[in-house]
């Protein structure tokens, strides 16, 4: 499981999120592999482990 984040230290850096998603796709990641694509109800059981 992987989380994709902008790691933005400035509001203008949020625009780089698309680049992080592109890199994840190049690594064959799908939405089910990325933790922050899950709705809260789907995330809770994973966090409670």
* pLDDT tens digits, 1-49: 888 888 889 999 888 888 889 999 999 999 889 988 888 888 888 788 7
User: Do residues 21 and 4 make contact, with C-beta atoms less than 8 angstroms apart?
Assistant: yes
Residue 29 tokens, joined: 């990641």
Domain that holds residue 31: 11-47
Residue 6 inside a domain? The answer is: no
Q: What is the pTM of this model?
A: 0.65
C-alpha 18/C-alpha 49 separation (Å) is 30
Residue 29's pLDDT is what? 92
**Cα–Cα distance list, 24 to 8, 37, 48 (Å):** 17, 13, 25
Residue 42 inside a domain? The answer is: yes
Residue 6 tokens, joined: 């902008």
Number of domains in the chain: 1
Residue 1 inside a domain? The answer is: no
Residue 22 inside a domain? The answer is: yes
Residue 28 inside a domain? The answer is: yes
């Amino acid at each position: 499981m992987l989380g994709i984040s902008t790691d933005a230290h400035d509001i203008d850096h949020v625009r780089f999120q698309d680049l992080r998603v592109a890199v994840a796709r190049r690594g064959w990641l799908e939405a089910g592999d990325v933790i922050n694509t899950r709705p809260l109800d789907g995330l809770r059981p994973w966090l409670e482990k």
